[in-house]
């Protein structure tokens, strides 16, 4: 219940901020173009709070936080007094209408830059993208790794941490090849070594972004912390807590079989759903045999697996592996703008790959997945929540630019047709377009919601 409430609260905060930014973009430019704004609403349905400003605009916060709108004076919607007709949206030039409609998505991109700017001012603790091997018969097998090597660039795009590597790789789904620039970690520490670029054949590279990491499926072995046979934490309400497992316990074995590594431990537990096992641990120099019954849960493939609720301890990575992505007042702005551009490019690529079939519609996410993402990022702290806001804001801006008549992009399409032809698109054509756009959008939303429920 706590997770649900936390995710819901984080989702409402995130969506509220993003909707406010989007609608304020429309509101601000409309006012600058001389259009009278009658209502600025965050949310739909019954008003929870309302106030009329000195400018005559009614400001509203409504009950359903799944959108918002800016109601402008418009002769196509209501009768407008003669004295106010010059303030009506439909009386403005086509370029003014284009500016007003485009301002919403543009505001989302600006919001993303601001969120990332604050994030980089605060600083993001990260790990350098270092690999210690590659897997046979994988696209990355062409890279001969004899010592830890840091990934410096993906197809010419510089990367500083694993998140940036992941983002860059996702943009190459469906491509025939990509390149990785790597260098021995010691060279970056001033001890010599050469930078090399390898071209990877990715024609047979396929994976599910929802379940698999592009890094692992490409065949790259990340240099990780060594997982120790020691309990770092025990999940509340878990099978381990019920069995009496404590933080600091050393795992000795299961059912008389000696501990064979963390992967062995996980696979043994997963195969023991609802089965009682004898878990041997060492505590204060004394061996104890605890009776535990792993709870049944669903694995990534939907099959039943056992879950015990233990988080293992891990060894410390060298300090040279750590990196703090933190910049000054001016540099943070440049880095934030560049990161927003990268997110935008990758998002457009992914939309294109949905149409080409390189990315499955199963990867579409709806409000439930977004709520979980909001809650998880908020759990990690402010800098991660800001990064999440930037990502969703960019996607919201892009979605609204799609040429579907019910979205901003559809309105822009009509206005650009008007620019070319010199006359507005007929009401009949617009109505047909709106019906088609609404049907397509409803279909996409239904698929996204279905995917959300399937992941639960």
Catalytic residues: 23
| Sign of CA pseudo-dihedral 292, 298, 299, 304 | positive
Q: Which of 346, 323, 328, 324 is nearest to 112 (CA)?
A: 346
- b/e code 374-405 from CB counts within 10 Å (16+ = b): bbbbbeeeebbbbbbbbbbbbbbbbbbbbebb
Q: Which of 425, 427, 407, 409 is nearest to 417 (CA)?
A: 425
Query: Which DSSP string corresponds to 307-330?
Result: E--EEEEEPPPPGGGEEEE---HH
Q: How far apart are CA 449 and CA 88, in angstroms?
A: 38
Beta strands in 53-95 (DSSP E): 58-72
Beta partners for residue 199, in sequence order: 179
| Sign of CA pseudo-dihedral 328, 333, 338, 340 | positive
| Sign of CA pseudo-dihedral 63, 65, 69, 70 | positive
Helix (H, G, I), strand (E, B) or coil at 329: helix
Q: Within 10 Å of residue 334's Cβ, how many Cβ atoms?
A: 13
Beta partners for residue 131, in sequence order: 149, 222
Q: Which of 76, 87, 83 is nearest to 33 (CA)?
A: 87
Helix (H, G, I), strand (E, B) or coil at 73: coil
Q: How far apart are CA 445 and CA 443, in angstroms?
A: 5
Q: How far apart are CA 404 and CA 207, in angstroms?
A: 30
Q: How far apart are CA 444 and CA 439, in angstroms?
A: 9
């Amino acid at each position: 219940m706590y997770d649900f409430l936390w995710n819901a609260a984080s989702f409402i905060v995130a969506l509220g901020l993003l909707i406010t930014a989007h609608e304020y973009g429309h509101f601000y430019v409309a006012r600058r173009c001389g259009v009278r704004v009658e209502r600025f609403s965050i949310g739909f349905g019954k008003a929870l709070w309302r106030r009329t400003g000195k400018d005559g605009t009614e400001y509203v916060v409504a009950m359903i936080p799944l959108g918002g709108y800016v109601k402008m004076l418009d002769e196509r919607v209501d009768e407008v007094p003669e004295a106010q007709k010059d303030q009506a949206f439909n009386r403005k030039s086509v370029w003014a209408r284009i500016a007003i409609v485009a301002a919403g998505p543009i505001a989302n991109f600006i919001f993303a830059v601001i969120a990332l700017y604050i994030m980089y001012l605060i600083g993001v603790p990260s790990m350098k993208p270092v690999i210690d091997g590659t897997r046979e018969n994988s696209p990355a097998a062409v890279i001969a790794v004899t010592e830890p090597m840091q990934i410096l660039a993906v197809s010419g795009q510089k990367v500083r941490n694993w998140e940036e590597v992941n983002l860059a790789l996702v943009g190459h789904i469906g491509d025939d090849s990509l390149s990785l620039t790597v260098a021995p970690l010691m060279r970056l520490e001033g001890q010599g070594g050469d930078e090399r670029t390898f071209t990877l054949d990715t024609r047979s590279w396929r994976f599910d972004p929802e379940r698999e990491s592009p890094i692992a499926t490409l065949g790259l072995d990340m240099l990780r912390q060594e997982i120790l046979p020691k309990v770092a934490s025990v999940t509340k309400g878990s099978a381990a807590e019920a069995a009496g497992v404590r933080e600091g316990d050393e795992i000795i074995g299961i059912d008389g079989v000696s501990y064979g590594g963390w992967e062995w431990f996980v696979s043994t537990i997963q195969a023991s759903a609802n089965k009682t096992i004898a878990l041997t641990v060492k505590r204060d120099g004394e061996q104890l045999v605890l009776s535990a019954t792993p709870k049944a849960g669903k694995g990534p493939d939907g099959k039943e697996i056992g879950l015990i609720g233990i988080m293992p301890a891990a060894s410390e990575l060298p300090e040279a592996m750590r990196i703090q992505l933190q910049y000054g007042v001016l540099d943070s702005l440049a880095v934030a703008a560049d990161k927003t551009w990268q997110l935008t490019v990758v998002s457009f690529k992914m939309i294109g790959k949905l149409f080409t079939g390189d990315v499955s519609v199963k990867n579409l996410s709806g409000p439930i997945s977004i709520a979980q993402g909001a809650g998880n990022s908020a759990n990690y702290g402010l800098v991660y929540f800001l990064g999440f806001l930037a990502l969703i804001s960019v996607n919201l801006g892009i979605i609204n630019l799609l040429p579907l008549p019910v979205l901003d992009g559809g309105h822009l399409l009509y206005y650009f047709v008007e620019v070319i032809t010199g006359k507005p698109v007929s009401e009949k054509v617009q109505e047909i377009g709106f019906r088609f756009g609404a049907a397509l959008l409803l279909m996409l939303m239904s698929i996204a919601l279905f995917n959300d429920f399937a992941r639960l």
